[in-house]
Chains A and B, each alone.
Chain A
């Protein structure tokens, strides 16, 4: 069966510091991968998605970037965090060859102070 991991679970960072969040998927090959941000009381905002290694599509202009160095690994990064980067970050995957449901990881709670 497939599982998705995210780490760290929680993170508190000062403004201007770098960021690296990691997501890995097990039990599937060549998945589509997604990064979302969920602000308090708001819906999920799609930040990036990837259909393959090295292929990244950005949905909104922002202070963040994404990379996919391996088939089942998706990384969200920033060189200098802003207060507005605080939120709940979720990684999701979907099977390109199967259904269209997206399956989510446990999330990372990021607080920028």
Chain B
């Protein structure tokens, strides 16, 4: 069964304190690894797609990387506005373009 596991479940950082979120997956024939940001009471907002091991993508203070078994979302010098739940998802092999989501990492950045 396809699974996506995220850790930690929750993370509290001080402003400027860099860290990484982990996403490990067992999705057969993975066809893409996706990262989303979700604010409370809102729909997830797309951040990145990674397709190949070794691939990296950056956006402001966020950088996503991919290996054969896991992905990391690195947050450099975070600010309070980076506080949100970060979700990762694996795209399954097969029709329908279906994604399997992890349960997310709830990030809180404090002053």
Q: Which residues of A come within 8 Å of B, CB atoms?
A: 32, 41-44, 46, 49, 51, 57, 59, 88, 90, 92, 94, 96, 99-107, 109
Contact = CB atoms under 8 A, between A and B. Distances in A.
B43 A106 contact: yes
A109 B49 CA distance: 28
**Interface range on chain B (Cβ under 8 Å from partner):** 20 to 34
A100 B43 contact: no
B41 A46 contact: no
Listed from nearest, the 10 A-B pairs whose CB atoms lie closest are A104-B43, A43-B103, A44-B101, A43-B101, A107-B43, A104-B44, A101-B46, A49-B96, A106-B43, A100-B32
Contacts, number: 56
B96 to A, nearest CB: 5
Interface of B: 4, 31-32, 34, 36, 41-46, 49, 87, 89, 91, 95-99, 101-104
